[in-house]
Structure 1
């Protein structure tokens, strides 16, 4: 497609330049009439644009030499100068800045060479150099815009990878924590109370199936970039934790209502990750989940009765903080007297 466009561009510019070349003498009486040599130089300068994308530097060199020779011969200014401008623009897009400056600077010297044979050396410098400087500036602006767009696309791709990693971490981490707790219970009860151990193993089977189903659903939903879970599934989540051996109490205040989908997902993940941390680190403890619906915010608070104490923010807490701040919320944790996680989300 690009080759076809360049061929049409070169043909159109050649036709335009050749068509008006003979008429330019009327507006530039001091110039020599365009003869066969002038027509050949015009055709060369324009037709070389066919290969401008494959050989940008060579295209600019040929075009600049042909146009300079055309002007040195005394022929009038005309559309043929557009060929040099297009070739310069292509060089800027195709090469690094330093190389583009060197190539374009050399082309400018060649193009302005005809002024050495003219009585208007100084007056002709500005309009002559404009055929290089202006397309160089335009090409640089276009190139910078393209680079900015590419950088933004890369940032978006990186953000998406982080989002996928966080979703998978939340789903798999929660499921494995629950399974580990239930497996420990089963191993402890197996020698003395096999019937209760069987119940724990049954819970492991159910939890693993749920985790796999949720992982599959998460990956499927991520393809559509839509949130998977929300506070509507809070009861299922707390029941799963309770079945793992950690009692969970849920307290909802205010008038429950649908939240923005992104906020709803963040709220669910904060509760999920917090309860997973209770399973992993709190030991024998109970947990309380409070959801408070306010006029313009929803507050999520998860506390436990574990030992608390100093802590280091791992991937789980860092992930929760990133999720909350990404939707414009506030996040805090406190390890004194048990562990407390608070997230205030715009509702």
Structure 2
């Protein structure tokens, strides 16, 4: 619904006052049997529009005031017609603002007054039933129009509320996604840095070359984590350039950084995946390798990607470590992976497999256009 120009609201009472006074003078020429508007009549013509000034804050009082002014003006014998403008506007306003009972009550009072006045009190006899029906129809039209406008405004307000709630929900989901991305990036790279730092400290005296390799891995991992964090955080800035998100095409790089003996197996028809599936697959493999680094350092790992016609199967299986890795604190790795899979309508299981552990995820691949 288009908003009214701001100047209409404050100027409406003045416009109605001018309209009622000038049109009443014109109406008197066609109603010679009615009393000419004197100073009191003009004051009544102005009083109704003046009451409209408070129509937003006090719709019921405005409605009662315009009804009283209208009834007094008609009872004094002045011309019919323009004096009703204020009452019609006040009646419509009351219905739109939800004062429906007051509006209907005033409508009944106004109708009874007109029927009684035109039947027994007016100097000229009433035109009859047709006149009464016309008055009732006019009042009904005003009420119906008010109800229509009120219902439309309520629908628009409800639609706006739903849109705002959906916007807030999407923003909340985006924040959750950003938090999950940051968790995965930090968990993987910091775990890798921790393990390589421990290796470097252990070998720095006896095998400095291997310690140098570990330190080189730490340097690269710290650089990678900063790059990925910038990529994730940039999407929170309006107008910031967006780097490509991590996907399965970077799996080889991920495997090399992990420092684990990893065997990759790819079956099925390798093809481009929807971004959300591609990103989720990468993060699941990343988190699974992080868990191996934490809990079974040095274990052999097999990463299987099976591109099926309707789903992507991911299996990350490790052989188990000779000794448990040093814990870096309680983690949300498996629940986080499971949430990623569930968000896409897939599933994820994590269980012991022989002496090691297996993470298996099934991610649906939406059917693309033919």
TM-score range, shorter chain: 0.7 to 0.9
Partner of 1:165: 179
Q: CA deviation at 1:187?
A: 2.0
For the pair 1:343 / 2:342, whether they are aligned, the reply is no
Partner of 1:53: none
Partner of 2:308: 294
Partner of 1:97: none
Cα contact 1:227–1:261 (8 A) shared by 2: no
Partner of 2:128: none
TM-score where L is the length of structure 2: 0.71
Partner of 2:68: 69
Cα contact 2:200–2:214 (8 A) shared by 1: yes
Partner of 1:271: 285
Partner of 1:95: none
Partner of 1:36: 42
Cα contact 2:52–2:90 (8 A) shared by 1: yes
Q: 1:182 to 1:268 in 2, by over 3 A?
A: same
Q: CA deviation at 1:241?
A: 0.7
Structure 1 gaps, min length 5:
50-55, 92-100, 308-312
TM-score where L is the length of structure 1: 0.75
Cα distance in 2, alignment partners of residues 298 and 26 from structure 1: 87
Partner of 2:295: 281
Q: 1:116 to 1:42 in 2, by over 3 A?
A: same
For the pair 1:198 / 2:215, whether they are aligned, the reply is no
Partner of 1:332: 348
Q: CA deviation at 1:84?
A: 4.2
Q: 1:114 to 1:275 in 2, by over 3 A?
A: same
Q: CA deviation at 1:276?
A: 1.3
Q: Note the alpha carbon deviations across 1:250-300, whole angstroms, 9 max, x for none.
A: 111123221122221111111111211221223441211111122233222
Q: CA deviation at 1:24?
A: 8.3
Partner of 2:246, secondary structure, is: coil
Partner of 2:5, secondary structure, is: helix
Instruction: Tell which structure's C-alpha radius of gyration is larger.
Output: 2
Partner of 1:254: 268
- 1:21-60 map, 5 Å: 22=24, 36-48=42-54, 56-58=56-58, 60=59
Range that drifts further, 66-75 or 167-176 = 66-75
Partner of 1:85: 92
Partner of 2:338: 321
Cα distance in 1, alignment partners of residues 199 and 359 from structure 2: 26
Moved beyond 6 Å, runs of 4+: 23-28, 30-34
- 1:97-112 map, 5 Å: 105=101, 109=105
Cα distance in 2, alignment partners of residues 146 and 266 from structure 1: 33
Q: CA deviation at 1:25?
A: 9.3
Q: 1:281 to 1:105 in 2, by over 3 A?
A: farther
Q: CA deviation at 1:144?
A: 2.4
Partner of 2:327: none
Q: 1:265 to 1:256 in 2, by over 3 A?
A: same
Q: Which has the higher helix share?
A: 1
Q: CA RMSD in A?
A: 4.0
Q: CA deviation at 1:340?
A: 2.2
Cα contact 1:18–1:43 (8 A) shared by 2: no
Partner of 2:195: 181
Q: 1:4 to 1:78 in 2, by over 3 A?
A: closer
Structure 2 gaps, min length 5:
75-79, 117-132, 322-329
Cα distance in 2, alignment partners of residues 137 and 194 from structure 1: 79
Cα contact 2:314–2:361 (8 A) shared by 1: yes
Alignment coverage as a number of residue pairs: 319
Cα distance in 2, alignment partners of residues 306 and 287 from structure 1: 9
Cα contact 1:177–1:276 (8 A) shared by 2: yes
Cα contact 1:227–1:265 (8 A) shared by 2: no
Cα contact 2:191–2:293 (8 A) shared by 1: yes
